[in-house]
Structure 1
Amino acid sequence: MEKDDVALRIEAFDEANGGGVGCYQDKGAYHLYLLATEAPIARLKPTGRGDEVSIAYWSHRRKWEDIDDMGGCVLPLDQALSHIATNSLFWTWT
């Protein structure tokens, strides 16, 4: 099965930043996880507007949750990946 543009961009970002993150698709979203432990990192769900994605994190409730209380954070894919890479919230359970 061929990877789509979003999956390829996620993979390229990961490789450019040292690797170690896996990605799979489920229910229309891209799930990022730490390869070493299989711990969930983030979920990126395309909004249908350009390359914007809604970002969720794996919470202490053992489910995906928005990163704010006001309807979530939506960013272009490259900005979303940078945000995930530098925000400790996403790395709490890894």
Structure 2
Amino acid sequence: MPEHARILQGLEAFCQAHDVVVDKRGRGYSLLSRRTGAPVARLRLTNDPAKVQVLWWDGQRWKAPGPFGTLTMNLERALDYIASERAFWIHL
């Protein structure tokens, strides 16, 4: 399965459960609130097709969600992290 299709398939249930939509841009996928259009998180593709980088919107730009740099993990773990961290949801 092509990487693009694999990621979109993995995002489908997350989007329905959290009322977000996916916007494919450049080297990644932005998750936006379906209701307000506000940014929630960004998943940037890596050289490893099994992993993505997780970024959050700080009000002005996408950046690392914590003090230790950009997190890289598999898609399922990234979505669990986004769902459980309140910081991703503050701009809604």
TM range (shorter): 0.7 to 0.9
- Matched AA of 2:28: A
Coordinate RMSD, CA, aligned: 1.5
Structure 2 residue aligned with 1:64: 62
Q: What secondary structure sits across from 1:4 in the alignment?
A: helix
Shift of 1:4: 1.6
Q: Percent identity?
A: 27
Task: Kindly indicate whether residue 13 of structure 2 is the aligned counterpart of residue 12 of structure 1.
Answer: yes
TM-score using structure 1 length: 0.85
Q: Which has the higher helix share?
A: 2
CA distance in 1, matches of 2:70, 2:91: 20
CA distance in 1, matches of 2:15, 2:49: 21
Segments of structure 2 that go 5 or more residues without pairing to the other structure are none
Q: Which moved more, 1:45-54 or 1:82-91?
A: 45-54
Segments of structure 1 that go 5 or more residues without pairing to the other structure are none
The alignment of Structure 1 onto Structure 2 pairs a total of residues equal to: 89
String of CA shifts for 1:5-63, please: whole Å, max 9, x gaps. Answer: 10121012333xx2411001101110001100001000001112132111110003x11
Q: What secondary structure sits across from 2:47 in the alignment?
A: coil
Q: What secondary structure sits across from 2:12 in the alignment?
A: helix
TM-score using structure 2 length: 0.87
CA distance in 2, matches of 1:7, 1:14: 10
Structure 2 residue aligned with 1:52: 51
Shift of 1:69: 3.3
Alignment of 1:83-94 (within 5 A): 83-94=81-92
